[in-house]
A and B are shown apart, each in its own frame.
Chain A
Amino acid sequence: MTAGYLSIPTTATAQKERSSSAAVRVRGLSVKLASRTLIDDVSVTFPEKRITAIVGPTGCGKTTLLRSINRMHDHSPGITVSGDITVGDTHVYGATTHLRELRRRVGMLFQRANPFPQSIEDNVGIAPRAHGMVSRRQSRELVEQQLIEVGLWEAVKDRLSSSPFTLSGGQQQLLCLARTLALSPEVLLLDEPTSALDPGTTEHIEALLKRLRERMTILIVTHNLSQALRISDEVAFFMAGKLVEHATSNTFFHEAADQRSRDYVSGRVG
């Protein structure tokens, strides 16, 4: 699985594949931890330039599904993934897939802010430099641009060289978002990104996601149904590792086809 891990794609390919969004197609995906099945034969397509909320009770495999898409399971011994996932035309688990380039195209934001123990500026600039997308000199510009994008620039412009741990939790999460966006991803994976944040920052991030939808595919795992209602175009509802229902938000919240979905929406389950 990790054969192509250390190979570095040329800047040319990186340039070429940038700034386009891509649909994520999941076909017959199963994920097992030892003998326990976490995801059971799931097929679903997440359309491009849409926000899809992935919802379901705790332990239903939402996060596991999300982590399959950028192959985070590669680093967890004991987890086996079978089936096929494509991002655009790229087979995520293909033998010739460059993991490095895949992860450039598929960004991820975690449940809690995890800034690097580096300066605020380097937090945003370090990955684009590592990918050869910008030179050290250009990186300053990119950093500013991304921090403006997420609305953090005014707060940090005078202390770019200080530690990100001096920022508030919400600001740290925004910094992590800027860090992810700096790679111009086509797909954005969000694992309950606002569950540890205050309502103000949550609202800010939600507005941001609606804006980002115009240029990328967004998948958001959330426990917060009202959040899903507010921002998502589509909803994928999971229970016990299986996809129960995938519908537009409007349909899911108001006239879901499956009884279990209706129970979940009305708060009887989960």
Chain B
Amino acid sequence: MAVIEADAGGTPAAGAATPPRPSLATEMTRGDRILKVVATVAAAIPGGLVAFLAAIMLVTALPAIIFNGTNFFTGTVFSLGHLYTTNTVTHNGEVAPSGASYGALSFIIGTFSTSVIALLLAIPVSVGGVLMLTEWFPRRIQGFLSIFLELLAGIPSVVFGLWGITIFAPYMAQHVYPALSHIGTVIPWFKGPIIQDGEGLLSAALVLGIMVIPIIASTTRELVRQVPVLAREGALALGMTRYEMVRTVVIPYIRRGIFAASLLGWGRALGETIAVLLISGNALNSLPHSIFSPISTIAATIASVLDGALTDFTGMGIHALAELGLLLLIISLITNFAGRLVVRRLASGALPVGRGV
């Protein structure tokens, strides 16, 4: 818009004798005006919604922020307090049911540990799998297997949760985790005890990982398709094997995109609620001491505690959940921005994806 206007402003001066040409930027029919209004509104919606949401969350959370202080980040006990008596406590001028404590440290740790472990599992599996598929499998099989990738992406998370808690977690607890816990003699995080049905950090992370795979894999597949044929042929023409070609050409071309895809996946893992709620063991009051410990995440806690919080006569329960929500929102925004920053920094390394075809 600015460019057009500058252009239009410049032209009349050139021909002072002739009447100024009608500028395209100012000449608007009724259709143009309607389009302009609609487009402006549409363009403002995403940004406006985020701002609106953040503002509402902040206002709702404010009493809890004042009540909790730093205990929110350092406390490990999350309790709505005694909701069936009328006793209250007052802290920093804010009122909550007696016995209430809103320490979120264990959820913060739970959120990060599950999502990071999920990513550590999902990235190599998706990238390796996609490279296998695109580089070594015949094209027809590629298409066929890709369908399953899309199907995996379409499975509702509650189904993942149910499968996780009824089949996957108990199986892992019986057959895999005992072996894994032997590593505990070297790395303390792998030490048991193992919950009988397998509910806990690792099970939640594994199922999250499976849910994240389609996100990373489908992005990676698109990236691999964009690697210039000419660049690949350059490697093959030098007698390089497919493996060497992938290492020298394909992976450098897609590296940055994989990073961005992983952040997308991370966003999904951070916010995933129902599947984690079902599999995590829903531990509201304890820090995990090993990868087998029951945990809870920010999102899962909001979902599981909401019912009780709604019966809180002081309203502080809801305020505390809003504070959790605000925290989740901030974490998501930070990871998103950090990701963009890294992608931009890597982009300045000048890797012209698509050049040469």
A: residues with CB less than 8 A from B are 5-6, 70, 72, 75, 77, 99-104, 107-108, 110, 112-118, 126-127, 130-131, 163, 165-166, 176, 179-180, 183
Contacts and interface: CB of A to CB of B under 8 A. Distances in A.
B160 to A, nearest CB: 37
A5 B135 CA distance: 14
Given A100-B240, A110-B233, A130-B239, 9 more contacts: A72-B237, A107-B237, A110-B237, A115-B234, A130-B240, A165-B350, A165-B351, A165-B355, A180-B237
A8 B249 CA distance: 20
Given A113-B356, A163-B351, A127 B239 contact: yes
B238 to A, nearest CB: 4
B230 interface: yes
A114 B244 CA distance: 16
Contacts of A5: 241
A230 to B, nearest CB: 25
12 contacts: A70-B237, A72-B236, A103-B239, A108-B237, A110-B233, A116-B248, A117-B253, A118-B252, A130-B238, A130-B239, A130-B241, A179-B238
B231 interface: yes
B236 A103 contact: yes
Contacts of A117: 231, 249, 252-253, 351
A102 B238 CA distance: 9
B230 A114 contact: yes
Interface in B226-279: 228, 230-231, 233-242, 244, 248-249, 252-253
Contacts of A72: 233, 236-237
Contacts of A163: 349-351
B139 interface: yes
A99 B239 contact: yes
Contacts of B236: 72, 75, 103
Contacts of B351: 117, 163, 165
Nearest to B357: A112
Contacts of A127: 238-240
7 tightest CB-CB pairs across the interface, nearest first? Answer: A103-B239, A117-B252, A114-B234, A108-B237, A127-B238, A100-B239, A114-B230
Nearest to B254: A117
A6 B241 contact: yes
A118 B249 CA distance: 8
B234 A131 contact: no
A16 to B, nearest CB: 16
Given A103-B237, A104-B239, A130-B240, A116 B356 contact: no
Given A116-B248, A118-B252, A166-B350, A131 B239 contact: yes
Contacts of B242: 6
B46 interface: no
Contacts of A176: 234
B142 to A, nearest CB: 12
Contacts of B241: 5-6, 100, 130
Contacts of B139: 77
Residue in B239, B249, B349, B351 with the greatest tally of chain A CB atoms within 10 Å:
B239
Contact of A102 (B233, B239, B355): B239
B232 to A, nearest CB: 8
B352 interface: yes
A130 B139 CA distance: 27
A116 B234 contact: yes
B320 to A, nearest CB: 50
A114 B231 contact: yes
Contacts of A77: 139
A75 B238 contact: no
A101 B252 contact: no
Contact of B244 (A104, A130, A183): A130
Interface string B207-238: 00000000000000000000010110111111
B349 A110 contact: no
Contacts of A99: 239
A77 B237 CA distance: 17
Given A163-B351, A165-B352, A166-B350, A116 B239 contact: no
Nearest to B351: A117
A114 B252 contact: no
B239 A114 contact: no
Contacts of B239: 99-104, 127, 130-131, 183
